Amino acid sequence: MTTQELVEQIRKKQSFLCIGLDVDLKKIPTYLLSEEDPIFSFNKAIIDATHQFCVAYKPNTAFYEACGLKGWEALQKTIDYLHDNYPEIYTIADAKRGDIGNTSKMYAKTFLKDMGFDSVTVAPYMGKDSVEPFLEFEDKHTILLALTSNEGAFDFQTLKSDETEIYKKVLETSKSWENSENLMYVVGATKAEYLAEVRKIVPESFLLVPGVGAQGGKLEDVCKYGMTKDVGLLVNSSRKIIYASTNNNFAEVAAAKAEILQQQMAEELEKFKFEHSNEL
Amino acid sequence: MTTQELVEQIRKKQSFLCIGLDVDLKKIPTYLLSEEDPIFSFNKAIIDATHQFCVAYKPNTAFYEACGLKGWEALQKTIDYLHDNYPEIYTIADAKRGDIGNTSKMYAKTFLKDMGFDSVTVAPYMGKDSVEPFLEFEDKHTILLALTSNEGAFDFQTLKSDETEIYKKVLETSKSWENSENLMYVVGATKAEYLAEVRKIVPESFLLVPGVGAQGGKLEDVCKYGMTKDVGLLVNSSRKIIYASTNNNFAEVAAAKAEILQQQMAEELEKFKFEHSNEL
């Protein structure tokens, strides 16, 4: 999917919600465990109920790897199901991969070509040649970790080098990489005020923003500091939506939670339009 | 496996060689492709032929993921084969994972418990809470990326913060994490002179050193700057051994290449013993 197509979907649905499909067999309704493929059954129900309120789904590969072969099979089935039934949905493999060049090439092919994801998250620590192999794929995105939503983000990402935090060096440096137009960035909602700093370096890039909801970030702040004229935001929520209920009506409750977020997003889009009516 | 058991194996075999099982279907002898599980057949042949010359095997997960379900199946079979036939061998999942706490927990369980690896490589960018879940497993190791062997290592790892390079901050900070005695570090052989710097911060820790051979690092330099009284080194070679030949006798040729490295390692161990005879 191109960035432009993603923007069109956001406009159409009045939503920039990404739902994290972090399926943990210990947390899904127990009746699903007797099904042939409980993970896929859970995902299918969540997707069918919530797709009109979101523009993207983001399975975190850790949760699928944890289930071994069955996990990987369920992940592929989930992506295929999305492609077959909701081709307008953007897909993110939250894999946080990254390795030396020839190895990153394998990861890139796996997620962006073979499995058919629209994008994959990548860790920046190993630098340029560990990321560029992901950027080669046309109409696919590489979502680079910049400033993450967890506490440990302050261990190394915010250390200063020549007065500049490492996460800013990551943002700045990555702009010089080949096919850098295919980059998006992870910036945690728990650090919304940092988004203004991020926007000084990457004014137009899409940001994948985790940490709204369960981790305490506020949607309003994210939009205040991060929204651009082409929206430029994908805000993720996982646990707060998919585990909102563990009863048989979990999908319905998840849809209700997703709709609340979609409504708030529609308001933010309207607010932005109003505030920037002179410029747009 | 405990660190002490690993040291004993190194002493016994006079080798600190780790062989990287980075199996690429495009590079293995074509006759194997007609077998039921070409990846496992290749690994089995390499392991049977080389195990007496090395103490560890390191499959890079990228190569297995690239083959989908069959790849993961072959990886598990490889680890099971090692446990059943050569339980004295140390195993490393070169996965370079790392995520927020509850997600890292899933990765840690997958590799260190379910799959049964002795260790897993982890990226440090997300800090303390992304690494500590890996450190909780008794008699297992977490091998943290410090200074990698690729060109991109100089993009962020060697940036200075308060006069100190980021990779040194990673080394220093990680020592304060819970169960840090279970840490090892990746330090590339292509930067052997940096090993002296690394040793000032982690004088005793085991270092996994990639980049000898195909990437140009020299064993002698690695030993000069990195060896400790308990050896403290696992030197990895992948392509130079496993793809030394693509003929039917590939395993035999791989064994010959591994033996050459083992012999050089035995010499280095002897040299160290001689030079440090007063201290030991």
Task: Give a yes or no: residue B93 inside a domain.
Answer: yes
The pLDDT of residue B212: 85
Task: Give a yes or no: residue B12 inside a domain.
Answer: yes
- The yes-or-no verdict on residue B190 having pLDDT over 90 is no
Give the CA distances from residue A228 to residues A133, A165, A170, A171, A183, in Å, rounded to whole numbers and listed in that order: 28, 23, 21, 17, 16
Provide the number of structural domains found in chain A: 1
Is A77 designated active site?
Answer: no
Asked if A154's CB is within 8 angstroms of B127's CB, the reply is: yes
Chain B interface disruption, residue of A96, A111, A176, most B CBs within 10 A = A96
Asked if A169's CB is within 8 angstroms of B156's CB, the reply is: yes
| A:96-115 residues touching chain B, CB 8 A cutoff | 96-101, 103-104, 106-107, 109-110, 114
The pLDDT of residue A278: 77
User: Confidence class of residue A187 from pLDDT cuts 50, 70 and 90?
Assistant: very high
Task: Give a yes or no: residue A134 inside a domain.
Answer: yes
- The yes-or-no verdict on residue B280 having pLDDT over 70 is no
The pLDDT of residue A193: 81
The pLDDT of residue A192: 80
SS3 A58: strand
Chain A interface disruption, residue of B27, B39, B114, B155, most A CBs within 10 A = B155
Asked if A156's CB is within 8 angstroms of B124's CB, the reply is: yes
The pLDDT of residue A191: 77
Residues of A in contact with B125 (CB under 8 A): 123-125, 145, 148, 156-157
B33 touches chain A (CB under 8 A): no
A46 Cα to chain B: minimum distance (Å): 20
Task: Give a yes or no: residue B116 inside a domain.
Answer: yes
According to DSSP, the residues that pair with A184 across neighbouring strands are: A143
Among A2-11, A210-219, A222-231, B203-212, name the one with the lowest average pLDDT: A210-219
pLDDT in tens, B247-273: 999 999 999 999 999 999 999 999 999
- Residue A230's nearest CA partner among A46, A49, A2, A42 is A2
The pLDDT of residue A280: 58
B72 touches chain A (CB under 8 A): yes
A58 touches chain B (CB under 8 A): no
Task: Give a yes or no: residue B280 inside a domain.
Answer: no
Task: Give a yes or no: residue A280 inside a domain.
Answer: no
Among B4-13, B201-210, B211-220, name the one with the lowest average pLDDT: B211-220
SS3 A150: coil
What is the average pLDDT score of chain A? 96
Task: Give a yes or no: residue A140 inside a domain.
Answer: yes
Q: What is the mean pLDDT of residues A152-163?
A: 96
- The yes-or-no verdict on residue B217 having pLDDT over 90 is no
The pLDDT of residue A189: 85
What is the average pLDDT score of chain B? 96
Rounded to an integer, what distance in angstroms lies between the CA atom of residue A105 and that of residue A129?
Answer: 10
The two structure tokens encoding residue B169? 């901050």
Asked if B22's CB is within 8 angstroms of A127's CB, the reply is: no
Asked if A97's CB is within 8 angstroms of B149's CB, the reply is: no
Percent of chain B with pLDDT over 70: 99
The pLDDT of residue B216: 76
Q: What is the mean pLDDT of residues B139-164?
A: 96
Nearest CA in chain A to B164: A161
User: Confidence class of residue A16 from pLDDT cuts 50, 70 and 90?
Assistant: very high
Q: What is the mean pLDDT of residues B145-156?
A: 96
- Which CATH number do you get for residue A260? 3.20.20.70
pLDDT in tens, A54-67: 999 999 999 999 99
- The yes-or-no verdict on residue A216 having pLDDT over 80 is no
A31 touches chain B (CB under 8 A): no
Structural domain including A13 reads 3-275
The pLDDT of residue A42: 98
Task: Give a yes or no: residue A199 inside a domain.
Answer: yes
Residues of B in contact with A152 (CB under 8 A): 126-131
The pLDDT of residue B251: 98
Nearest CA in chain B to A211: B100
pLDDT in tens, B159-174: 999 999 999 999 999 9
